[in-house]
Structure 1
């Protein structure tokens, strides 16, 4: 069997990406004639025309469109394979793009990265903190730090640790309004909605034995930031659901108290999510291994209760 013309496939992918023979030639460091010959060679082998060529315009044929994604995959995987082999022979270097939620990123990820950069001075970190939607693939993110119950997807995810989450309010609030003893009781309380949750107005609970409860909540505050809820919670204005890394100090100091501790809010956890693909550069692997070890120690909870999408970063649109 004759081997595929991998060089021609890679050239084809580059022409598609740069939308011209000359652009592909510049990107690949070869002559325009070399690009043209590779495309002609591939077309002859496949028995089909890949491009409509005019003096002003270059467009894909139907056959070309059907093969473009596969060609780009061949080029991408070949590039990744070479990069991985080269990285293995030298110290990790280059830029790693990381995304995390604002609060968790500032409190947990940034201090860890400071230590990481001391160990790996040739690796540059591009850290994006946002509580909004992050398209991991579309935005070119190498590692997303996600606190969520992950849906199925083509993205790769490494589970790091559970994250404890609490239903909390101020002692003054509970003194005035009473402590909810069952999730259904929350329907009569002032509850703050976290708007980045999949269903911010419905809180779902489970507990040992299989009992489940869903309650429609309402209250005077809605926010896309857990930190922004703290002043109103401390002031005794309502009840919220927040993770340990936001309310841990308040719980320890007695400014807030947790209720419904025998109920669980889901099976989510802290994950490190990366784009699809079996090969990753050594610099990305180094970041993932280091974050996993340090964040696991930082989260270190025996068990976690987690509302969906508490972490702020989400996969590409193929997921919710």
Structure 2
């Protein structure tokens, strides 16, 4: 036997008729036709095998059964109205728990400073951020937003592309004074460098210049780590050449602590994106985060020259 859901619409209409005292008044208040009102009551009476109203041409009164069920119908109508109000509030008023994941270095340096403003603007939002360089599963792990830096964001998620992030090959003036400046990508294998182990890509470096693309061996590695920011002290101390995202080294390029190498050659750029689970609309708390945080990051605040 197939289980049948209660006729919630008919019960809600019944409650509104009892409140207003007539079919016509209920039809006007609900914005539906008088025949629709009548059909709803008939459905309810046919489904239950009893009458809920005594109807004459001049008077409408509840039956004894109608009086007994009225309290349940009124409560059902109230719960339905409250549920709709909560849904509208979720769409238009930012509130509730917002779960975000972001890369460690970028998140701490360029996302965390923006959060006080977000939290002050939206006091009803509770924010939980997981800083990790792992590519977490938004849906399986229950995240609302992922801040990602990748060459190709996954097509299975909704993506808001913010800007490109170039990868730059750099070294300190002290290093270059001691070991010389590479003039071509093939010269890199004669230098010292660092190895970032937080990616699945191979060790070969792929670089392009005026339509020419080459793959070359990276500099010899003495220092490897799963977080590129940890290389910065050694890089600044003149211990090697490094390939870094622009946001991580732009300040050091501006103050002369680092110099860009092989300026005519380029690596494939990464894209900074805000990813959300697939769906037609975002809760208000997600839209607020995308608008405020995304709007600021789109301006690439780490690089005043771009």
TM range (shorter): 0.5 to 0.7
Looking at structure 2, the residues matched to 223 and 247 of structure 1 have their Cα atoms a distance apart, in angstroms, of 17
Tell me the residue number matched to 2:114.
Answer: 112
Render the CA deviation track for 1:178-224: whole Å, top value 9, x for unaligned.
111222211222121111233251221123x3211212223111111
CA–CA distance in structure 1, aligned partners of residues 156 and 141 of structure 2: 16
| Residue 233 in structure 1 maps to residue 263 in structure 2 | no
In the alignment, does 2:270 pair up with 1:275? no
* Residue in structure 1 matched with residue 158 of structure 2 by the alignment: 156
Using CA pairs under 8 Å that are at least 6 residues apart, name the structure with larger relative contact order, 1 or 2.
Answer: 1
Native 8 Å contact 1:98 1:142 kept in 2:
yes
Kept in 1, the 8 Å contact 2:164–2:271? The answer is: yes
Deviation at 1:159, TM superposition (A): 0.5
CA contact under 8 A between 1:163 and 1:303: conserved in structure 2?
Answer: no
CA RMSD across the alignment: 2.6
Alignment match, 2:246: 244
Q: 1:6 to 1:188 in 2, by over 3 A?
A: farther
Say if 1:258 and 1:223 are closer, same or farther in 2 by CA, change over 3 A. Answer: same
SS in 1 for 2:134: coil
Q: 2:214 is matched with which residue?
A: 213
Structure 1, unaligned stretches of length 5 or more? 9-80, 305-320
Closer, same or farther: CA 268–245 of 1 in aligned 2, 3 Å: closer
Query: Would you say the 8 A contact 1:136–1:142 is kept in 2?
Result: yes
Other structure's SS at 1:158 match = strand
Whether 2:295 is the aligned partner of 1:293: answer yes
Partner of 2:130: 128
Gaps of 5+ in 2: 7-83
Alignment pair present for 1:191 and 2:193: yes
* TM superposition shift of 1:227: 1.5
Higher deviation after alignment, 192-201 or 293-302: 293-302
Give me the whole-angstrom Cα distance separating, in 1, the residues matched to 2:154 and 2:214. Answer: 24
Tell me, in whole angstroms, the C-alpha distance in 2 between the residues paired with 1:259 and 1:83: 56
Confirm or deny: 8 A CA contact 2:96 2:126 kept in the other structure.
Answer: yes
Residue 99 of structure 1 contacts residue 143 of structure 1 at CA under 8 Å; is this kept in 2?
yes
Partner of 2:90: 87
Deviation digits for residues 252-276 of structure 1 (CA, Å, limit 9, x no counterpart): 2222211012222113221001112
| 1:237–1:6 CA distance, 2 compared to 1 (3 A) | farther
Corresponding position of 2:146: 144
Distance 2:208 2:101 in 1: 30
Taking structure 2 as the reference length, the TM-score comes to: 0.67
Distance in structure 1 (CA, Å) of the matches to 2:301 and 2:5: 47
TM-score, reference length from structure 1: 0.64
* Structure (1 or 2) with the larger CA radius of gyration: 2
Give 1:137 deviation, angstroms: 2.1
Structure-2 change in CA distance of 1:219 and 1:6 (3 Å): farther
Equivalent pair of 2:125/2:285 in contact (CA under 8 Å)? yes
Structure 1 outlier segments of 4+, above 6 Å: 5-8
* Residues in 2 aligned to 1:161 and 1:6: alpha-carbon distance in whole angstroms: 52
How far, CA to CA, are the matches of 1:288 and 1:6 in structure 2?
Answer: 42
How has the CA–CA distance of structure 1 residues 219 and 210 changed in structure 2, closer, same or farther, with 3 Å as cutoff?
A: same
Q: CA deviation at 1:129?
A: 0.9
> Displacement of 1:154 after TM fit?
0.8
> Counterparts of 2:123 and 2:4 in 1: how far apart (Å)?
36
User: Is the 8 Å Cα contact of residues 162 and 299 (structure 1) preserved in structure 2?
Assistant: no
Distance 1:180 1:83 in 2: 62
295-304 or 254-263, which moves further after superposition? Answer: 295-304
Q: Is contact 1:101-1:131 (8 Å) kept?
A: yes
